[in-house]
Amino acid sequence: MTANRHNTIFDGVDFGTVLLYVLIVIAGWLSITSASYDDTAADIFSFSHFYMKQLVWIGAAWVVAVVVLLLDVRYYHMLAYPAYFLGLAMLLAALAFGHEVNGAKAWFEFGSFRVQPVEFAKIATALALARVMSNYNFSINRPGDLFKVGLVICTPLLIIILQNDTGSGIVLASFLFVLYREGLNKWLCIPVLFIAALFIFSFLLSPMMLLVSLILVCTLSEAMMNGQWRSRIIYLAVLSLASILLCIVAQLIAPGSLDLYHSLLIVTLVSLLFVAAYAFRTHLTNIFITLGLFVGSLVFLPTTDYIFNSILKEHQQNRILSFLGVINDPQGIDYNVNQSKIAIGSGGFWGKGFLQGTQIKYGFVPERHTDFIFCTVGEEWGFVGATVVLTLLCLLILRLMRMGERQEEPFGRIYCYSVASILLFHVLVNVGMAIGLMPVMGIPLPFMSYGGSSLIAFTILLFIAVRLDASTRQFTLNKF
């Protein structure tokens, strides 16, 4: 009986996910209203106000959501590659002919409307990644297949970086979580995270401390792989003591010829030859992995200065140095974050109330309706309101992961996890920079920040996952 009934647009739809989406969008619109409301304006319903413009975009996004639900799921699989190449073409067109906003040449301007192609390129990349990884006989740990995945992710990333929109480009790094979920060897993931950590700590630690830290981390990681903690810790202690003693001897024999860091580096590299010989003789491949990480780190560290000074723009350098506490500029680069923290802190437990936020109302926080929308939530709704908003966002991400787990086809599972990863990255970075835990990157809070491009793109991104999940649930119900 059930198999013969006519399916409708709402059959199989996860209404819990849709409800979470609607609640978050409404919370975003209320926050935009608070951030941009002007009680002295003659016409509060004029479409010159941000909250009225956003209301139009919300209506358009909901229409788009219905269209996405109406399309057959086979189209998303068939159009994954065409959408990906169209997304690349849009990024290249923006790079060549786009309008520059805040130093990033990443926008198209049509009269009073602006469109940011990178928001839609994320959708195309997620679809293409799901298509590549769902191919027959695909193996995430096969070099050829891994190269294809890297090409899909890195091509748009490179174009976005050339647009000087590094913050949006880094979002694509969130696909690393998808690759790990699909079985990527953890020892291919760790070097990526390790390189990022090295880049950060190279600004905070002296060369000597970096080298000692590398020895410690690599030794402990090798001990974790083998489970031989005692012998590895003894090796570490002996190596450290021997290095220090030899460095002291070198300084006594030839004072001033070598500084302590270079002496320790030479001793460490020589000792690694003995470790490698021992590993080769006893067939301990994990030691070779550790040595590879260590030597690779030593090679990478000198390049951090080049990356920082030659590739990153001045404002990006200042944001990193400010975040790490290397520089302090409360009236300049630190101003936005400081004012955001003041606004959030002034909200207290219950908040000041709707339209009552003084930091927001009197314009102390720049970009309070876009990148720093979370400080509006914190000031007017307080700790309770901020907790509710974060809970809604976390529940949405968890439901997407649940959708992925119940997919019967790899395409749907990979896509759902891709959406969850993108949303998670956006939430962590946006909220983190609003409270000073992350450097300012200029990426929106999903479904809440002002902007038609981001709202419609996030809506499409989410409802494709909802449609794929609905198809799976329809198929399950029809079987019975």
Domain count, the chain: 2
Q: Examine the fold and report which residue of 300, 320, 354 is the final residue of a domain before the chain moves on.
A: 300
At residue 2, does pLDDT exceed 50?
no
At residue 3, does pLDDT exceed 50?
no
pLDDT digits (tens, 9 = 90+) for 279-289: 555 545 555 55
Quick one: 374 and 416 in the same domain?
yes
At residue 70, does pLDDT exceed 60?
yes
Quick one: 259 and 232 in the same domain?
yes
**In this structure, are residues 279 and 292 in contact, taking their beta carbons and an 8 Å threshold?**
no
Quick one: 180 and 207 in the same domain?
no
Quick one: 181 and 54 in the same domain?
yes
d(CA 370, CA 360): 12
Quick one: 104 and 252 in the same domain?
no
pLDDT of residue 332: 65
Quick one: 109 and 19 in the same domain?
yes
The DSSP annotation for 152-206 comes to HHHHHHHHHHHTT-HHHHHGGGGHHHHHHHTT--HHHHHHHHHHHHHHHHTTTS-
Question: Predicted confidence band at 441 (pLDDT cuts at 50, 70, 90)?
Answer: confident
d(CA 287, CA 304): 26
The answer as to whether 356 is a domain residue is: yes
Question: Predicted confidence band at 1 (pLDDT cuts at 50, 70, 90)?
Answer: very low
d(CA 64, CA 68): 6
The answer as to whether 220 is a domain residue is: yes
pLDDT of residue 169: 82
The answer as to whether 230 is a domain residue is: yes
The answer as to whether 50 is a domain residue is: yes
Mean pLDDT (whole number) for 46-72: 90
Quick one: 281 and 377 in the same domain?
no
The answer as to whether 307 is a domain residue is: no
Question: Predicted confidence band at 9 (pLDDT cuts at 50, 70, 90)?
Answer: low
Q: Examine the fold and report which residue of 248, 273, 300 is the final residue of a domain before the chain moves on.
A: 300
Q: Examine the fold and report which residue of 300, 323, 349 is the final residue of a domain before the chain moves on.
A: 300
At residue 206, does pLDDT exceed 50?
yes
pLDDT of residue 4: 46
Q: What 3-state class would DSSP assign to 107?
A: strand
Quick one: 396 and 261 in the same domain?
no
pLDDT digits (tens, 9 = 90+) for 278-337: 555 554 555 555 556 566 666 666 666 676 777 677 767 777 777 666 667 666 677 788
Higher pLDDT, 181 or 195: 181
The answer as to whether 139 is a domain residue is: yes
Quick one: 180 and 208 in the same domain?
no
At residue 138, does pLDDT exceed 80?
yes
Which range of residues forms the domain containing residue 88?
2-197+312-479
pLDDT of residue 196: 67
Quick one: 30 and 167 in the same domain?
yes
Quick one: 137 and 282 in the same domain?
no
pLDDT of residue 63: 95
Quick one: 154 and 230 in the same domain?
no
pLDDT mean across residues, the chain: 79
